[in-house]
Structure 1
Amino acid sequence: MEYPIPRRPGFDPPAEFAELRESAPVCPVSLRHGQRAHLVTRYADVRAVLRDHERFSSNPATPGYPQLRPVVDRAAAPGSFLVTDPPAHTRYRRLLTGEFTARRMDALRPEVERIARERLDALRAGPRPADLVAGFALPVPSDVICLLLGVPVADQEFFSTRSRAHLDRSLPAARVRAALDELHAYLADLVRSRRERPRDDLVSRLVADESLTVEEAVGMTVLLLVGGHETTANSIALSVLALLRDRAWWDALVAEPDLVDDAVEELLRYLSPVHHGVVRAVAGEVPGWGLGPGDGVVASLFAANRDPAEFPDPDRLDLRRPAKSHLAFGSGVHQCIGQLLARVEMRVALRALVAELPGLRLAVPFEEVGFRFDAPIYGLRSLPVTW
């Protein structure tokens, strides 16, 4: 079986996932560079992989590391805490943990609400139909991450296009590398500037640690910049589409806005935007799976979040379902460091929409909405809406 498995428009994972959970929960697959790996699809198994950093390595230099990107990663770039193991990973995360605490996110919420309100006002003042992706879902988290990092909002277009190219798995490796090089050069200038003239922003506080090299600071900032807007932007747009398709749930949020907080957890479970999964190299013997050093695994968050053993009737969207155990943000030491920020942004965005645009509706048939499946984080090309 080749992986990633092709998808059809809509929110459901490939039908093969359900079959694999039953008959081959650890299944051999072929990857894009001719490499072999094993796809893991059951919730309990995926969670076990994510939480065991001793037997499952995140480092591309570990033999067997599955390569899903057009660019082959031979080693972890400096500062890339997403693809490092402890103790290096622990050092990088420790520098950022204080920036994403619940207390800081609560303090940031008024700014997120201001940004959402301003973007929504601009959307309403423009022509109809409007594109909710370009006019709201993408700029809200982009504005927020710019504010946090100290990146000029005027440069949004630059980093947005480069980050999307960096994540686009349909592009040739040369174009992906060029986009990443341009992003690195831009952020290297920003890091050097903040080290010389610090401001009240995350990058300035990060580079205040003199043990951190410029290259490490750039690598960490790239992850925050790309991850800080792409995943949340796609989650907001997909959530709105899912709610407008199942109008009863949209109307429920309009009538009961306090339902939004729990609804976000169910939407994350149901949509699972990181749809290609998380890759790990096997660094120790795995009894029962027949795997050992030199093997690789792809842990499917999407398949895990639709596992009926954990979530009864998993293919049904139910905003009242207790879904906080979902794995949309991963688990273990590599669980998304910005998950609290993403939750704040999604909750603020959905509350603003149901409060200010209760009559929001699709401006085209659902079948005409264009999905983007060519990246590890799937989303929408556009979302035409009116009200």
Structure 2
Amino acid sequence: MSTIATFVGNQISAWATRDGLDLRKLRFVPGVAKYPLQRDGVDPVPRLVAAEPVTRLVSLFGTDVWLVSGYDAARSVLADGQTYSNDLRPLVSRGGRTAAEQIGGLGMTDPPDHTTLRRLLTPEFTRRRLARLQPSIERIVEERLDAMARQRGRVDLVAEFAFPVPFEVICELLGLPAGDRAAFRRLGVARFDLSKGSAGSFGAAAASRGFLIDAVARQRRDPGDGLIGALLREHGDELDDTALGGLADGVFLGGYETSASMLALSAHVLMEHPDVRARIVADPDAVDETVEELLRHLTVVQVAFPRFARFDHQLSGQHIRRGDAVLVSLLGANRDLAPDFAPGRDGAGHLAFGHGMHRCIGAELARMELRTALPALAARFPHLRPATRRLRFRKLSAVYGVDRLPVRLR
């Protein structure tokens, strides 16, 4: 879920290390970094739609930053681990930071580190292994719908449904005790907000990562039933608390805010398409195709992790130099594939979860949540409608969405 803003800040940090500039203190986002993260409602801004498949976004301290928004070029870049490196750590991991302040994870590493990390997590994210969570997902969804049904007048669908459902699911997956969840939830949202530069995001990330490192330390003495416990039982002798906490944080990072934004924006789109909403209740076979089209159309993770060119090469007619940064607009690529919302089209190959070896490992869990929650919401409240015509979409965020979605249930 990296963004152009984050990359720009990281480049500044690397360039000015000798002058003591700390990315954690960066309080602004350069204007040139903003337009690929901006939208018109749920749609990309015209400038992104009109862009060539590969364009030079900015030249910064001798490094060209390229934006890829064409589908074919994007798919090619995302799949090419030979031409591009994903390793961000040399740019932002500097001396003097605590373990919780170091970055890492699947999206920021190359083989062999990436291969090792993914090997640890993959067994826990197979469809068969995740099936154990389906009863919990159904229970969590029904509990939230029951709570909403007890309310009268306007309900904020974000606060009452879109955020609590994936948060409780990810806590179930990780195996966090109920007593830990309230404190952990308070740490979640701020890390994705880039409206004040990267300083707030880095601080919030360190806090939530530190919380999970502590959770690993506690469970090392008595492993729980979730992902943290499974990793401790299988790999506790290989990895220390910091490494395992970082893995757990990566799972949280990829599975909480993204699913919450998808649930909220999907409900918003379905309220604008009541025929589609009715169809997913009446025809279970329509659910999967609708979820895939919502994933493609909304693409809440707007820009993939930056890639860095390992050598000079050509990309869609542009000369990319060794060391240049290549940013893939997942939104631009998915809308290049098809501009409008039309469930039932062949949506195979969309890039909402990325592509290649860095494709989101939690894709199937996200689908499970959407396939369960959206039909249940539509069935329980068939007359769900917006309570306001003026939604406030996030202006600058690594994950696109709304912070409030007022609705009327009846």
Q: Which moved more, 1:251-260 or 1:108-117?
A: 251-260
The answer to whether the Cα contact below 8 Å between 1:235 and 1:273 also exists between their aligned partners in 2 is yes
How far does residue 172 in structure 1 lie from its aligned partner after superposition? 4.3
Is 1:220–2:250 an aligned residue pair?
A: no
How far does residue 79 in structure 1 lie from its aligned partner after superposition? 5.0
Cα distance 1:98–1:31, how it changes in 2: closer, same or farther (>3 A)?
farther
Q: Which moved more, 1:141-150 or 1:251-260?
A: 251-260
Task: Map residues 83-94 of structure 1 onto 2, 5 A cutoff.
Answer: 83-94=108-119
The residue that corresponds to 1:55 in the other structure is 83
How far does residue 17 in structure 1 lie from its aligned partner after superposition? 2.2
- How far apart, in 1, do the equivalents of 2:293 and 2:366 lie? 14
The answer to whether the Cα contact below 8 Å between 1:55 and 1:284 also exists between their aligned partners in 2 is yes
Aligned letter for 1:16? R
Query: Please, which runs of 5 or more residues in structure 1 have no aligned partner?
Result: 66-71
Query: 2:140 is paired with a residue of what secondary structure?
Result: helix
Match 2:401 to one of 350, 354, 379: 379
The residue that corresponds to 1:13 in the other structure is 44
Match 2:155 to one of 130, 141, 151: 130
Cα distance 1:89–1:256, how it changes in 2: closer, same or farther (>3 A)?
same
The residue that corresponds to 1:245 in the other structure is 272
- How far apart, in 2, do the equivalents of 1:323 and 1:350 lie? 19
- How far apart, in 2, do the equivalents of 1:332 and 1:292 lie? 22
How far does residue 154 in structure 1 lie from its aligned partner after superposition? 4.5
How far does residue 34 in structure 1 lie from its aligned partner after superposition? 9.9
TM-score between the two structures when normalised by the length of structure 2? 0.84
The residue that corresponds to 1:68 in the other structure is none
The residue that corresponds to 1:42 in the other structure is 70
- How far apart, in 2, do the equivalents of 1:32 and 1:168 lie? 23
The answer to whether the Cα contact below 8 Å between 1:191 and 1:217 also exists between their aligned partners in 2 is yes
- How far apart, in 1, do the equivalents of 2:281 and 2:385 lie? 13
- How far apart, in 1, do the equivalents of 2:322 and 2:401 lie? 35
Deviations 1:147-179 (A, max 9, x none): 111123454443334232211111344433322
Aligned letter for 1:43? Y
The answer to whether the Cα contact below 8 Å between 1:142 and 1:229 also exists between their aligned partners in 2 is yes
Cα distance 1:46–1:201, how it changes in 2: closer, same or farther (>3 A)?
same
Is 1:292–2:316 an aligned residue pair?
A: no
The answer to whether the Cα contact below 8 Å between 2:108 and 2:305 also exists between their aligned partners in 1 is no
Task: Map residues 280-319 of structure 1 onto 2, 5 A cutoff.
Answer: 280-287=307-314, 288-307=317-336, 311=337, 314-319=338-343
The answer to whether the Cα contact below 8 Å between 1:278 and 1:301 also exists between their aligned partners in 2 is no
How far does residue 277 in structure 1 lie from its aligned partner after superposition? 3.6
How far does residue 136 in structure 1 lie from its aligned partner after superposition? 0.7
Aligned letter for 1:37? V
How far does residue 223 in structure 1 lie from its aligned partner after superposition? 1.2
Query: 1:118 is paired with a residue of what secondary structure?
Result: helix
How far does residue 73 in structure 1 lie from its aligned partner after superposition? 5.8
The residue that corresponds to 1:2 in the other structure is 32
The count of corresponding residues between Structure 1 and Structure 2 is 369
- RMSD across aligned positions (CA): 2.3
Cα distance 1:286–1:34, how it changes in 2: closer, same or farther (>3 A)?
closer
Aligned letter for 1:142? F
The answer to whether the Cα contact below 8 Å between 2:63 and 2:325 also exists between their aligned partners in 1 is no
Cα distance 1:324–1:105, how it changes in 2: closer, same or farther (>3 A)?
farther
Is 1:112–2:112 an aligned residue pair?
A: no
Aligned letter for 1:147? E
Match 1:148 to one of 170, 173, 192: 173
Is 1:235–2:259 an aligned residue pair?
A: no
Cα distance 1:169–1:220, how it changes in 2: closer, same or farther (>3 A)?
same
How far does residue 221 in structure 1 lie from its aligned partner after superposition? 1.1
The answer to whether the Cα contact below 8 Å between 1:80 and 1:216 also exists between their aligned partners in 2 is no
Aligned letter for 1:369? L
Query: Please, which runs of 5 or more residues in structure 2 have no aligned partner?
Result: 1-30, 96-100
The residue that corresponds to 1:344 in the other structure is 368
Cα distance 1:171–1:154, how it changes in 2: closer, same or farther (>3 A)?
farther
The residue that corresponds to 2:306 in the other structure is 279
The answer to whether the Cα contact below 8 Å between 1:277 and 1:302 also exists between their aligned partners in 2 is no
TM-score between the two structures when normalised by the length of structure 1? 0.89
Deviations 1:342-381 (A, max 9, x none): 000001001211221111111112xx11212321111111
Cα distance 1:31–1:348, how it changes in 2: closer, same or farther (>3 A)?
farther
